[in-house]
Amino acid sequence: MKDLFIEKMYELSKKPYQKFIKKGKAWEINIPQLIQLPADSLGFHLGCFLLKYNFEIQPKLEDHDVIHVLTNTGISVVEEIGMQYYLFGNGKRSLYLLLVILSGTLFYPTKISYFEEEFRKGNRAHQFYGLDFLNMLTLPLTSIQDTFNINKN
């Protein structure tokens, strides 16, 4: 029930966030183009991630799915909250991130040790959350992870 509530809150907040808060332009790329990239590339792995979960590319929110790929984070509600902890540890600060962390901690107090570990992983990684991922789609995924010390486990 908690998961359903959090998912509904996310769905309700996504459109206003995309429209009014998220800066930048939507990527002009589609999933078939991504999976045509080299098999070791970030873009190919992003395309596979989107296909695996039957997701569409969300305009102006493409970076979110890239972070999933880079950090090898799943898509459950708890994992989504954990990813925000990871990003917080990596130095990202936004109202949206803070709201997710606050609500996630309140709804899932038994997962605090998981959240703390995700924060530590993000803190150990070199800051990467603000990179221009669109221009990195052809780079090998493991090279990016190694360069930025992104924990792949």
pLDDT in tens, 62-76: 999 999 999 999 999
Q: Is 24 part of a structural domain of the chain?
A: no
pLDDT of 18? 47
Query: Any idea which of 16-20, 72-76, 97-101, 107-111 has the lowest mean pLDDT?
Result: 16-20
Domain that holds residue 44: 2-18+32-147
pTM of the entire structure?
0.86
Amino acid at 146: D
Average pLDDT, the chain: 90
How many domains does the chain divide into?
1
| pLDDT (mean) for 116-135 | 97
Q: Is 59 part of a structural domain of the chain?
A: yes
Helix ranges (DSSP H) in 21-111:
31-35, 42-52, 62-71, 77-89, 95-107
What percentage of the chain exceeds 70 in pLDDT? 84
Q: Is 23 part of a structural domain of the chain?
A: no
pLDDT of 152? 60
Q: Is 107 part of a structural domain of the chain?
A: yes
pLDDT of 21? 54
Q: Which two tokens stand for residue 51?
A: 């296909």
| pLDDT (mean) for 144-149 | 98
Q: Quote the CA–CA distance of 149 and 153 in Å, as a whole number.
A: 12
Q: Is 152 part of a structural domain of the chain?
A: no
